């Protein structure tokens, strides 16, 4: 099936920011499908599960909560969660 990350386009555009330089976009092979544009259903499901842990509400209140190492069952590295939806905003 079509890769959910690159949506079958096989590559991703990654923004590279370097101090004192203009932002650059680099086209890289999609790591989820390894540049094939296709994944198995299992691979697509696990990608979707992982994405479901991340905040997609845009964090309207701009408030986040700090979760220390080894506290959460979702992510054992310290991270921040969105106060609005309770999902992960940033890890590490
Ligand atoms: Zn892909
Ligand atoms: Zn959120």
Q: How far apart are CA 85 and CA 56, in angstroms?
A: 8
- Around ion ligand 2, which residues have CB less than 5 A away? 55, 57, 59, 82, 84-85
User: How much is the pTM?
Assistant: 0.64
Cα-to-centroid distance, 79 and ligand 2 (Å): 14
Yes or no: say if 55 and 89 are a contact pair by the CB < 8 Å rule: yes
Check whether residue 48 and residue 59 sit in a common domain: no
Check whether residue 13 and residue 48 sit in a common domain: yes
- In this structure, what token pair is assigned to residue 3? 């890769």
Q: How far apart are CA 1 and CA 18, in angstroms?
A: 36
- In this structure, what token pair is assigned to residue 90? 């940033």
User: Which residues, 6 or more positions from 51, have their beta carbon under 8 angstroms from its beta carbon?
Assistant: 4
Check whether residue 76 and residue 38 sit in a common domain: no
Report the percentage of the chain scoring pLDDT > 70.
100
Range of the domain at 78: 54-92
pLDDT, tens digit (0-9, with 9 covering 90-100), for 42-78: 999 999 998 999 999 999 999 999 999 999 988 899 9
């Amino acid at each position: 099936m079509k890769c959910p990350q690159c949506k079958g386009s096989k590559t991703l555009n990654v923004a590279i920011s370097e101090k004192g330089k203009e932002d650059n976009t680099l086209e890289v092979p999609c790591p989820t499908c390894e540049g094939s544009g296709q994944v198995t259903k299992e691979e697509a499901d696990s990608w979707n599960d992982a994405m479901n842990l991340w905040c997609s509400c845009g964090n309207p209140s701009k408030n986040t909560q700090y979760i220390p190492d080894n506290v959460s069952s979702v992510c054992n590295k310290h991270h921040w969660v969105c106060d609005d939806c309770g999902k992960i905003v940033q890890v590490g």
